[in-house]
Amino acid sequence: MTDWQPQAAKLADSLAAESAIVDYRWRAAFEATPRHVFVPRYWALNEYNSPVRVVDGAVSTHRHEWLQAVYENRFLITQWVADGDRRIVTSSASLPSLVARMLHILDVADGQRVLEIGTGTGYNTSLLCHRVGAANVTSIDIDAGLVAEATGRLDVIGYTPTLHTGDGALGVKDGAPYDRILSTCATRGVPPAWIDQLADGGRIVTPLTIGGALAVLDKTGPGEVSGNLDVEPALFMAMHPAGQPLPDGYLAEIPPPVSNEAAHLGTSNVDPEALADFDFRLWLLLHLPKLHFVEHFDDQQTRIGWTIHDGVEQATGKLGADGVLHVRQSSRRLWDTVEAAWLGWVDHDRPRRDRIGVTATARGVQYAWLDSPDSDVRWPVPTA
């Protein structure tokens, strides 16, 4: 295929225009990397964001749709598994603007050694190879099939990084220490092995499973990393052991509503707009890490309420004609915690997520904090 270079250049132009790319060296990497090689096919989604139709570049009638999608700023589903009636995504080509953002904050320098957690399609691996040289890139993925496919794709364009099949949470000890560790899957906390395998002064960039948090952590001492969250949310599939597509509870079913006899009714002072605010949701999840959100809409697709649940019990807040949230909850009063978290968020000037940071040690001590690691406002980071 010889017509991809203008498409790659156009993608790089669009990423630069929205400031996702701010370094000419990363721009050159995006321009020189044939994304279509790493996404030979993808699955189109239905209105419920479930994969329903394959779009294959090898099929002539698909070719235009496929090529256009591959070089747009779109995430593309590349693999899924069935779980009853559900199709659970197990691999994707991430949103290019998010890829560029994470590579930017990785702050890699020439010749530095990088460990990538989550090889996936190999596209991100290729970008790293272009930037620091394939000899300096190590990548690991739990899925042997994905690693084999990525190896072949990287070979096609002339890159031979070190690829491993295994548990990304354990890192790759043989290649340590690494100057940078970049995860393309979300983790519950920071795996201690990464901290051990990080060079002095090194950096870890990893999405967390809580609230779309993207942690940017520098090694601040022996066996310790610390740093703030990025201002932008980053939603990634969760890291998982082989044979378990998602961690327990990740797709928790909504529990049944409380009975009329046991229901506690009331109103809420929470600003309804805050419940759709990713920064407030992160703040709330630091108080209730296992909380799930379900939004309710009317026939005009106007948001009219929310159900929150922890897989065991639920609480519902619905907007009345008076514009007030009317709450129905069980004796556990989940919504009371929402109310308390809201008041704390307002009291601390509605902090953006980049005011929140994380400190983690190789001994397993991990906590989030507001404004400073020494702050009195802190929460344990859930690691299991």
Tens digit of each residue's pLDDT (9 = 90 or more) over 16-39: 999 999 999 999 999 999 999 999
Model-level pTM greater than 0.85? yes
Catalytic annotation on 268?
Answer: no
- Helices 5-17 + 24-32 axis angle, to 10: 150
Q: What is the pLDDT of residue 244?
A: 53
Q: How confident is the model at residue 241 (pLDDT cuts 50, 70, 90)?
A: low
Q: What is the tens place of the pLDDT at every residue in 320-345?
A: 888 889 999 988 899 999 999 999 99
CB 351 within 8 A of CB 344: no
Confidence of residue 248 (pLDDT cuts 50, 70, 90): very low
Q: Is the pLDDT of residue 242 over 90?
A: no
Nearest to 187 by CA among 137, 238, 141: 238
Question: CA distances (Å), 360 to each of 95, 188, 213, 216, 223, in order?
Answer: 28, 12, 15, 12, 8
Q: Which of 92, 94, 226, 330 is catalytic?
A: 94
